Structure 1
Amino acid sequence: MTITAQLLGSVRLPGAADLVDGPARVAGGGGLALRRGDRLEVHRMPEFFSGAPEPVAVFPAPWPGWDQGVDAVAPDLGFAVFSGQRAVRAVAADGRTLWEYRHGCWGPVIGHPHTGDEQEVCSGLEHGSVLVSADGRLVWAHVVGEDGPERWVVLDARDGREVGRIPLEESVASGSYQLALPDGEHVALSVGMGQDGCLLYWARRDGDGIVVRDLNEGLDRILLDVHPGRGRLLTVEHNGADLQVHGLDGEVLAEETAHRTGAPRWDWCAGHVDADTVLALVETDGDADGPGHWLLDGDLRVLGRVAYPGPVAGYARPLGDGTWLTRDRAGDTVSRWTRAGS
């Protein structure tokens, strides 16, 4: 079955393809954060497609030479938190540093020297991530400890004071990102370790302590999205063998392989178009019809392949509001779509 995509709008903005293909930077108020050069811009839909794609907030990057970390913006857009190579830093819109939390260096060479220049960027692409809680009071940060092992820390958003710590003794991250669950309490952390696999955790603050759940247990799964209304996690097996929906207890609630689409495996991109629909990609080799975008229902039953009126390229980014984003082949034009007739 073919499902027709209806175009809602397009915008041409150099660098905007990062909204589709880039890291899952998070902004408050339903916005999307886009790193463009030395600044982090916050855009809101559908204003972004109104013909004047001006950001609703802009935050200067504290380390212009470093753009590997996954950053976040407070729900009220009052500050941004940047995941640096050797520190986490909260920055106001006028560029003032509100606080800084120092940690070990993400550079891959253990014990390498630093010049003392805070703008120094060490070799390597390894990075951590940050996320601001829904109430704006906490910052969750995946960092390297000063003594080497990685950890997931909880910081007071007012002053950067550490109020909780979770050791990640198994993690040797290439990168990570975090997603907040809709209850405003749980946060999920996905850690990629390259050929060594993936790790997946969720945690929540409980009084002065932290409740954490290790969802690995011999699994090797990448976190793709969280359900927009329920405590469910959407994951893909590291090699694309299957998509799964998990409860917070780790139970597999739904599963689907890519074979029903005619492809050998799922790609590393999927998410909720809305509460009842998932958009997922399959790996294709030079497909003349463009990338294999497929819609599935909430139980991961295949509904059909998405047909676009023109060429699209790369990944897609579902927004959870009934729409999703794609980009053109040049990478400068982003389009917003919905299911025709919806």
Structure 2
Amino acid sequence: MSITAQLSDSVELPGGAALVNGFAFESRGEATRRALLQNGHELEVYDLYEVFAGERAPTAVFPLPWPGWDRGVHSVSPDATFAVFSGQRAVRAVGPGGELLWEYRHGCWGPELGHAHTGDEQEVCRGLEHGSCRVSDDGRLVWAHVVLGWDEQDCQEFWVVLDARHGRELARLPLDSAASGSHHVSHPDGLHMGLCIGMGQDGILLHWARWDGEKLTDWDLNEGLDRILVDVHTGLAGFLTVEHYGSDLRLHALDGAVLAERTPESCDDEDPAGWDYGCGFVDADTVIASTVDADEDPDRARHWMLDARTLQVRGAISYPTGPVDGCVRPLGDGSWLTYDGRSGTLNRWIEAAS
């Protein structure tokens, strides 16, 4: 069965590819969908609903605290009054003018044996590893994936919870990881936070946690799993994951129990390619997912609609403009995004009425 997509909005947004193929998208509750786009030495924050309504100026701009550092996954407070940056040796909160609000120092993500830092905070050490951070939806906490320890032989990764007002550590959780990178997913209930840690060929680690003001409770979901955390929706109790190499897509309860599973072979017997990580909830009833690594083989890329509770395939998506390559970014409000890198155009789609 073919499902026809209808173009709802289209705007030019340079750098918008990071929205659908990266970690530049930030969702907060039901009302806020943001793009956090790096432009030179600045982080520009766009309200996507305002962008599609015709507003082209960013709602906030934050100077990068370390212009030479181009890794890490950053976050912006719900009211956009401050940004928190995941650096190589610190998590730093800054105001719109670049003023330092606080800094949480940690070990170096790129240590080298025998290497001593010069003391220059702008020094970027070799290595591609990085952490991530996320401001909670109520703006009170900052969750950060960091490494503690000061040399290559004496360091361990931790998940820390910081007070967003001054950066004071409230809790920490030791992690059994050697990350190449990570990202956070905030649960719409405003209470739970997810952390997905990529370790290259060594696999994926996945944690959920909750801070109640006194105690940090963690759900370690890694026994026998090797899965990428991709999305969670307010209308459902669970979350979506994709197997590390794309062999299946699963819906989980918050404790990790598998509620539904779908393999790409079920979609297309002639093209048993893996699921891409570009997937998520279009709304509480529908999941959108892509097969094949859409950036590397766009001619074979396809987008699919699935039932959100059973992951049964509803059909492949047909676009009126012709084949649409690249990943997708569902907004959770009944629409999803694609990006045309040739024209720099961000497109927003809805399912056409039958």
TM-score, with normalisation over the residues of structure 2? 0.91
Instruction: For 1:84-233, list aligned pairs within 5 A.
Output: 84-107=87-110, 109-110=112-113, 112-146=115-149, 147-168=154-175, 170-233=176-239
SS of 1:148 mapped into structure 2: strand
Q: Tell me: CA distance 1:243–1:211, structure 2 relative to 1, closer, same or farther (3 Å).
A: same
Alignment map for 1:1-342 (pairs within 5 Å): 1-26=1-26, 28=28, 29-107=32-110, 109-110=112-113, 112-146=115-149, 147-168=154-175, 170-262=176-268, 263-264=271-272, 265-283=274-292, 286=297, 288=299, 291-298=301-308, 299-310=310-321, 311-330=323-342, 332-341=344-353
Deviations 1:103-146 (A, max 9, x none): 01111535532221111111122110001111111100000112
In structure 2, C-alpha distance between the alignment counterparts of 1:87 and 1:152, rounded to whole Å: 13
Q: Residue 51 of structure 2 aligns to a residue in which SS? A: helix
Deviates more, 1:101-110 or 1:76-85: 101-110
Matched to 1:193, the amino acid is M
**Once the two structures are superposed, what CA deviation does each residue of 1:200-249 show, in whole Å capped at 9, x if it has no partner?**
00000133220001001121111011123333110011111111011111
Q: CA RMSD in A?
A: 1.8
CA contact (8 A) 2:18 2:24 kept: no
Deviations 1:35-89 (A, max 9, x none): 2221112212332123442111111111111121100011111111000011000
**SS of structure 2 residue aligned to 1:153:** strand
5+ long unaligned stretches in structure 2: none
Query: Which range moves more in the overlay, 172-181 or 204-213?
Result: 204-213
Bigger Cα displacement from structure 2, 94-103 vs 302-311: 302-311
Unaligned regions of 5+ residues in structure 1, if any?
none
| CA–CA distance in structure 2, aligned partners of residues 109 and 103 of structure 1 | 16
For the residue of structure 2 that corresponds to 1:219, the secondary structure is coil
Report Cα offsets for 1:157-216 as digits up to 9, x if no partner.
000000100000x20001000011111110000000010000000000133220001001
1:23–1:70 CA contact under 8 A, matched in 2: yes
Structure 2 CA distance, aligned partners of 1:93 and 1:53? 18
- Alpha-carbon distance between aligned partners in 2 of 1:114 and 1:199, rounded to the nearest angstrom: 30
Q: Are the aligned partners of 2:33 and 2:49 in contact in 1 as well (CA < 8 Å)?
A: no
**CA distance change for structure 1 residues 109 and 308 in 2, over 3 Å: closer, same or farther?**
farther
Query: Aligned residues: percent identity?
Result: 59
Contact kept, 8 Å, 2:189 with 2:234, in 1: the verdict is no
TM (norm. structure 1) is: 0.94
Partners of 1:99 and 1:249 lie apart in 2 by 34
The secondary structure found in structure 2 opposite 1:48 is helix
Task: Tell me the SS of whatever aligns to 1:177.
Answer: strand
CA distance in 1, matches of 2:123, 2:87: 11
Aligned mates of 2:282, 2:69 — CA distance in 1: 32
Contact in 2 for aligned 1:27/1:72 (Cα 8 Å): no
SS in 2 for 1:40: strand
Cα distance between partner residues in 2 of 1:221 and 1:134: 25
Distance 1:67 1:27, change over 3 A: farther
Task: Give SS of 1:216's match.
Answer: coil
The count of aligned residue pairs is: 340
Task: Kindly indicate whether the alpha-carbon contact (under 8 Å) linking 1:279 and 1:318 is maintained by their aligned counterparts in 2.
Answer: yes
* SS of corresponding position for 1:195: helix
